[in-house]
Amino acid sequence: MKQHTNRARLLISCKDKAGIVSAVSTFLHHYDANIVQSDQFSTDPEGGMFFMRIEFDLGIQSPDFFRFKQEFKELATEMNLDWKMELASRKKKMAILVSKEDHCLLELLWKWRAGELHVDIPVIISNHPTNKQIVESYGIHFVHIPVSKDRKAEAEQEAIDLLKQHDVDFIVLARYMQILSPNFVNSFPHRIINIHHSFLPAFIGANPYAKAFDRGVKLIGATSHYVTDDLDEGPIIEQDVLRVNHRYSTQELRVAGRNVERIALARAVEWHANDQVIVYGNKTVVF
């Protein structure tokens, strides 16, 4: 994946009003920046919300990126914009939390090694030692933090401290089978991405694939979302489905489910890493 060292990305969300695109474009032109891609979306031109994502290349006459951001801050304050600006070449630090199942973990590791995920992975944390050998074969630091009922809070704090020590930008729950506390979630707001099967809320609890088989489902799905205090109800980033039929056994449904889970999660992670997602309320805008 080719990375332009002078390319930057700008995400904007604000109340819709006249002149936003003009003001931002004029600013970029004034500082010798060239727009290479621009996308925008308005929920309602009459008093709704406005969202925009711009990729631009800094020019020869542009100030350094730090000063560029400082200059844009004045415009953003004046126009009351919520915004984020990143260099495309900067690799975000992505930590992964996983339990025993490895299908989502391996999908991310394959894409990372192939250069399809422009991230660094400083650490992978698990409540089981099952995937230690796999992770270390990729040259990534693996940390086993056991979780039990009597020390769940201590285990979480240990993980939080480790993640902050590595200064991670975001966290991926690659089938991490633990419910995170509000303390954990609030330590990384809109920076934790989860994946789960889309049988919820119809088939809750243990062994949802057996329950789905008993009902004769015709679609298998998966949902990737940001984690909030409301279990499995955070802003959705990506969903995918796979058609199945009466010939599928419970095990075949489970395999199909794993396939769609790993694909949906990998897409969500890629979009987050590429600054393509804006969170608004309990929804996302994905450019």
- Residues involved in catalysis: 232
Q: Which of 159, 176, 102, 173 lies closest to 133 in space, CA to CA?
A: 102
- Contacts for 80 with CB less than 8 Å, ≥ 6 apart: 14, 15
Query: HSE-up of 200 (CA within 13 Å, CB side)?
Result: 12
- Measure the CA–CA gap between 11 and 51, rounded to whole angstroms: 8
Give phi and psi for 24, each to the nearest 5. Answer: -70, -45
- Measure the CA–CA gap between 256 and 179, rounded to whole angstroms: 24
Element (H, E) at 34: strand 33-42
User: Are 159 and 125 within 8 A, CB to CB?
Assistant: yes
Q: How far is CA 8 from the centre of its chain?
A: 19
Give phi and psi for 241, each to the nearest 5. Answer: -135, 160
